[in-house]
Structure formats: structure tokens, C-alpha cells
Structure 1
């Protein structure tokens, strides 16, 4: 009998692969309300698993150990929100003042554009109306993302609890899926991947805390209002590569421009934030976040934009950790190591050794 294995030509395989990818991402888009909380819960469960395991070693029953772990995590988050609550309330009280100052600056900008650029006031008004209409549509998408994030917070503890409760069954399922012959290799990959992911996520949290302190101290020295709130928000946005950094700079610049009569402070904010970004990229990230899971700039930008198109704000936050997890898995599987190198931030010149005999 002849072998039934048949190699199809590229022009047949390529469309099938594209259709499969389209259906895969379309299903992810349709199920985002279910999958986004589950994805966040997976990261949280991996991060909290060592603490939960330690409680179990102390003889605490599993259900109570998980409950205690989640309670500690909730108290930490509650403490953070309580710490920022005073600044948030003050920010709400000053919104009318910010609105009046913004309208004043906008009027000055319109007058300057009419005198220096020759753009009539009517044309500027028409342009503002168009921008307002587009802004309202974008605001609707943003609010949808915010409500989606609120849904994450309601489902997150439930999913995290269940993932920690059934972690042994999930690991056993992975072992059985690959069979007994590959059990040792699968165990090695799972252990290495779990440790690397935990150190990576913990490193991201430490990096965020350091950046929050640096941002807040810099803004306090410059006399910017709501320095701690803006510094913390900037540190969280810093988790979104490049795009988040730009938004993190724009927020305090806008506040300083509206609340001050001079433009020196906004320029100083830009300079200080760029310095903090340099320190983050060249000192904090290499030391705190494991360099073996660093993602190159091209992949980072592409996956962040894809994550935003797929799952909104949540997708932008989730994109980099999950690509990092994929890289860790690729680096531990022989046949997938080229894909790991493609995602990584290694210097291309170091990947090819020159021939010294030439």
C-alpha cells in the first residue's frame, strides 16, 4: 500500500492557514467577555500560586489557603486604592476649574491660528465639531472597554479561585495529553516555564512600583498637582510598551499646562519623563525583569496594536505578558526555538557567528 501522506502545495496551504487564523481570532473576539477575565485570572493565579502553596505546607486546608491568599491580594489592592483616594477626590473637585482653564487656552490657540496661520474661526469651529464627533465615538469604545475591565474585577476572583483549586487536574491533563513517553520532558518544560513566568510577572510589578515612585517624586518636585495619582497612572500605563509611555507623558503635561500660566513646567515634565524612561529601559528592566523574556520592539508594537483591536484596553495590557509566555515556551521546546529567537530582543549580530578563517 502507498502512503496516504500527501504534501499539498503552498498556494493551497496558505489560504487554509489564513482562514484558520481568521476564525481563531474571530472566536477570540466574540468570546472576549469570557476570555479576558479568564486571561487576567491565569496571570494572577500563576503569581499567587507560591503563596498559596506555602499556606498549604503549613497544614491549612486547600480551600482556606486559596481564600487567605485572595484575601491578602484584595487587601493590598484596597490599600493602594485607599492611598490614592484622596487625590482622586481632589481631582474631581477641580474639574470645573480645569474645564474653564482649558476653554481659555483653546480660545488663545484659536486666536493664534487665525492670526498666524490664516485659518478662520468658522473653519476652526467646523474642525472642532468633527473632532468632537469622532471623540464621542472613541469615548463610547473606551467606556465599553472600561465596563469590560469592571467585569474583569467581578469575575477575576472567581476564576482565580477555581484555577488555584483545580491546578493539579490541569497539570495532569497536560501530562496525559503528551503521553507517558514525553512525561519527563513535559515536566521539565512546565517547571521551567512556571518559574520563569512567575519571576517575569513579579518583575513587572516591581518595575511598576519603582516607576510609580520615580514619576511621583519627579512631579512633586516640579509642583504638579495630583503628582502621586498621575505618577501611579503613568507607571501602570508603562506596562503598555511605547504607546502607554506616550500617554503617561501626555497626562501630566496636560494638567500642568491647564493649571499653570507658563510652559516651563510641561517642558520639564517631558524631559524628566524621558530620563525616567531611559533609566527604566537601560537599568530597571534588565535588572528586575528577566532579560530572557524581553520582547523586541517590532513585535511589541504589533502585538499591542493587535491586542487593542481584539480586546480593547484589556488586550493591550495582556498582549505583552502572553507573548512573553509564548517566548518562554518556545525557548524550552527544541523545534520552536527559532520562533523564540524571532520574538526576543537579542542583538541580530550575535545570532550569527562570523567565520574567523575568512
Structure 2
């Protein structure tokens, strides 16, 4: 494999990763918009899609939680006339948007990201989950953001460079690659 071939394969994986993140953000925007409509958040389409767009970068969509709760508080207290309903109760103002966000984020983390990113990068679900966790531990927010494309590029390097040499050595077609002598 030439350098150009390797870089071409890595380019395909990285562009697939970016496309996958955009698809996930759109799906998450739709899911959050529907959930916020059910919960009663004002302007659910706008809020849902803004949080969906923010989810392109992991954990940045958390900014949307206080904004959503604030919108609920403003909306409920503007419209409160007489005895409050269950949708105007304090626990629903906080719990409704949190529950909707938690369910959408769980769908993203355990279903959408592994499946869509798996197809776009050629990695299986456990590898994606492990890469995301390892990236978060080693590099924090930047590690989570870069974990999947870096893992996919490492997979390409191992598959194209290391594995053929190791296989040739194991079959006896190549001499030992370690500089140890048997003296």
C-alpha cells in the first residue's frame, strides 16, 4: 500500500465520520423536537434542532438543558391562570425537558452513534464505544471528539501495514523483524 492509498482511505473514513455526525445531529434534532413538543417546551422545533446541531460536538448539547428549562419556566409562568395543571407543576418544568434530553441522548450514545458511525468508519459497535471511552479518558472533550476517526485511521494502518508483514513473517516468507539474535 502506498502513502497515497493510505491517505485516501483515511480521507474516506474521516469524511464518513463527519457525514455520520451530521446525520446523527439531524436525527437527534428531530427526536428532540418531537419529545419537546410532547413535553410542552415552547418553540420545540427551534430548540430541538439547535440542540441537535450542538450535538455535532460531544457534550456541547448539554448547553441546551438550562435553556430549555428556562423556556419552560418563562412559558409556564406567563400562562399560569388559576390552579396549575400537572404540566405547570415545578417538577414537570424541570423533569420534562431533562427526561426528553436524557432519552434522546441515550438513543444517540447507544444506538445512533455506534450504528451510523460504525457504517461510516468501518468499525463495529464495541470498538466505537471503547474508542469513545478511551478518547474521553485520555484526552477529555478533544479525545471524545477525535477518538472515532483516530481509531479508524489506526485500524487502516494496522490492516494495511502491520498485518501483511506479520502474516508474511508468521508464514516464514519474511525474516524476523525484531533485531534479536539467537546466540
Q: TM-score range by the shorter chain?
A: 0.5 to 0.7
Q: Pick from 56, 59, 67: which aligns with 1:239?
A: 56
CA deviations 1:115-164 (Å, max 9, x no partner) are xxxxxxxxxxxxxxxxxxxxxxxxxxxxxxxxxxxxxxxxxxxxxxxxxx
CA deviations 1:297-351 (Å, max 9, x no partner) are 352366454x5xxxxxxxx9xx71x4443333322224998xxxxxxxxxxxxxx
Instruction: Tell me which residue corresponds to 1:300.
Output: 136
TM-align CA RMSD: 2.9
Instruction: Tell me which residue corresponds to 2:68.
Output: 252
How many residues end up aligned between the 2 structures?
Answer: 141
Instruction: Tell me which residue corresponds to 1:333.
Output: 157
Report the Cα offset of residue 208 of structure 1. Answer: 0.6
Question: TM-score by structure 2 length?
Answer: 0.64
CA distance in 1, matches of 2:154, 2:139: 17
Would you say the 8 A contact 1:238–1:248 is kept in 2?
Answer: no
Instruction: Tell me which residue corresponds to 2:169.
Output: none
CA deviations 1:9-68 (Å, max 9, x no partner) are xxxxxxxxxxxxxxxxxxxxxxxxxxxxxxxxxxxxxxxxxxxxxxxxxxxxxxxxxxxx
CA distance in 1, matches of 2:53, 2:136: 16
Is the helix fraction higher in 1 or 2? Answer: 1
Change (3 A) 1:328 1:286: closer
Would you say the 8 A contact 2:134–2:147 is kept in 1?
Answer: no
Change (3 A) 1:204 1:232: same
Instruction: Tell me which residue corresponds to 1:210.
Output: 27
CA distance in 2, matches of 1:330, 1:268: 41
Question: TM-score by structure 1 length?
Answer: 0.35
Instruction: Tell me which residue corresponds to 2:4.
Output: 187
Change (3 A) 1:244 1:187: same
Q: Which moved more, 1:324-333 or 1:208-217?
A: 324-333
Report the Cα offset of residue 283 of structure 1. Answer: 1.6
**Which residues in structure 2 correspond to 1:49-88 (within 5 Å)?**
none
CA deviations 1:195-241 (Å, max 9, x no partner) are 21222111111111000011111112222112122111211222232
Gaps of 5+ in 2: 78-88, 163-183
Report the Cα offset of residue 250 of structure 1. Answer: 2.4
Report the Cα offset of residue 260 of structure 1. Answer: 1.4
CA distance in 1, matches of 2:71, 2:116: 31
CA distance in 2, matches of 1:213, 1:331: 33
CA deviations 1:59-107 (Å, max 9, x no partner) are xxxxxxxxxxxxxxxxxxxxxxxxxxxxxxxxxxxxxxxxxxxxxxxxx
Change (3 A) 1:214 1:324: same
Change (3 A) 1:302 1:334: closer
Report the Cα offset of residue 190 of structure 1. Answer: 1.9
Gaps of 5+ in 1: 1-183, 308-315, 338-358
